[in-house]
Amino acid sequence: MRVMKWSMIALAVSAGTSQFAMASAQDDSKGFVEDSTFSINTRALYFSRDFRNNPSGPGSKSRAEETGLGFNALYESGFTQGTIGVGVDVIGLMGLKLDSGKGRAGTGLFPTGSDGRSQDDYSKGGGAVKFRISNTVLKVGDQYTTAPVFASDDSRLLPELPQGISITSNEIKGLKLEGGHFTSSVAQNQTYHDSLGLTKTDFVGGVYSFTPEVTGSLYYAKTEDYFRKYYSNLNWTHALSDDQSFALDFNIYDTKSDGAGLQRAEKDGVTKLDNRAFSLQGAYTIGAHTFTLAAQKVTGDGDYGYGVDGGGSVFLANSVARSDFNAEGEKSYQARYDINMATFGIPGLSFMTRYVTGSGANTATTSNGKEWERDIEAKYVVQSGPAKNLSLRLRQATYRSGDGVYYGSPSIDELRLIANYPLNIL
């Protein structure tokens, strides 16, 4: 991984320097107020999980079912004019409980009190100061992250909100470089500082467009006293005709215990992280139809390492609605079908179904843990009028595992009804 990492970066930089640098974004700045934007995304979410083989006993549940309304407000100022532009971002998040109950709490939508009930409402927020020179932006404070080795999760009512320093540079055409130093993160369903218990994480990497059809990325991350991680991606998309295309996408993570985390693992005799998780996905599109096949494998010691906090996202083909299919030794395969109804005169309407099966997982109870998941989704996006961009989505997931011990969850039937309404005020 080290050789590939540095050789690809060298290739990207040498190719990029042969091109003219892009026009400076800072030179085009209109001002702090003039370039400001303000948006509010409203999300209504009904979330239901029916646990099929939950162990009986005190505290066990057969069902979790809640409904909430979330508001995600984001103000992004422009940059002051001059060589160094200065600006601010302000984030405001609020969640409201619409329906719940003590026996149905635990969906991850809301904070839960000592009595086992979900809070009626909760809010959080923050802000960041940002500086721009040419096409490079430095940001300090609360901010969402999208790097494949440190991406904030937005799978519930409100997103995770990390705190730290980031830098993003687009000085060379086709090349994006970024890095970050993060010390805390607010969980999706919590309000207090560092509720994820984040261990200090640093990352650096970038994405380069070799051609209009081929892009590649390389990242390195280090979570203090826990692990170091490499990530690489290669994506190729090719148009076969006006209504046909083919795409290949390859992802790989290389994770290894490091520092005090490695010492603790060796001392306590527990599994240390030293694994590779990789996936290859191919998609063929013809007209309204897209057919996708994917294969994924984890080799080495330990499950894929999310981090001490367990938060964040993973960029693997078989990371789907319920499971990520990334236990130690696990191999998994996916078949997926998408249809875009715009071809049939209904723009904005689409359907998706997929099936993923995994086997060969090494767990505390077996050397051949098995799981499977079937997902069905229908989505409609309003195309015009006052409700333009309002999206309505129905997601149903059926997940089965031989034993809840395998993957930390019993088998479930899950249903999500999601309405998102993004409103741009400025």
- CB count in 10 Å sphere of residue 346: 12
- 35, 153, 225, 274: the active-site residue: 225
Mean pLDDT of 11-30: 65
More confident residue, 93 or 115: 93
Averaged pLDDT of the chain: 89
- 36, 181, 209, 359: the active-site residue: 181
313 is catalytic: yes
- Measured CA to CA, the distance from residue 245 to residue 343 in angstroms comes to 16
More confident residue, 227 or 355: 355
- Measured CA to CA, the distance from residue 3 to residue 17 in angstroms comes to 21
**Polymer length in residues for the chain:** 426
Backbone φ and ψ of 136, nearest 5°: -120, 130
Mean pLDDT of 52-56: 67
- 313, 323, 350, 411: the active-site residue: 313
Tens-place pLDDT, residues 295-335: 999 999 988 988 654 566 899 999 999 999 999 999 999 99
Whole-number pLDDT of residue 305:
85
Tens-place pLDDT, residues 247-301: 999 999 999 988 776 766 666 666 688 999 999 999 999 999 999 999 999 999 9
Q: What share of the chain is helix, strand, coil (3-state, %, to 5)?
A: 10, 55, 40
238 is catalytic: no
- DSSP, collapsed to helix, strand or coil, labels residue 7 as helix
Strand partners, 249: 235, 281
Tens-place pLDDT, residues 382-417: 999 999 999 999 999 999 987 654 555 678 999 999
Pair 318, 325: CB distance under 8 Å: yes
Whole-number pLDDT of residue 286:
98
Tens-place pLDDT, residues 190-231: 998 888 878 899 999 999 999 999 999 999 999 988 899 999
Exposure of 197 in the CB half-sphere (CA atoms within 13 A): 6
Please report which confidence band the pLDDT of residue 23 belongs to, taking 50, 70 and 90 as the band edges.
Answer: confident
Whole-number pLDDT of residue 311:
60
- Measured CA to CA, the distance from residue 249 to residue 216 in angstroms comes to 10
Mean pLDDT of 130-149: 97
Amino acid at 47: F
195 is catalytic: no
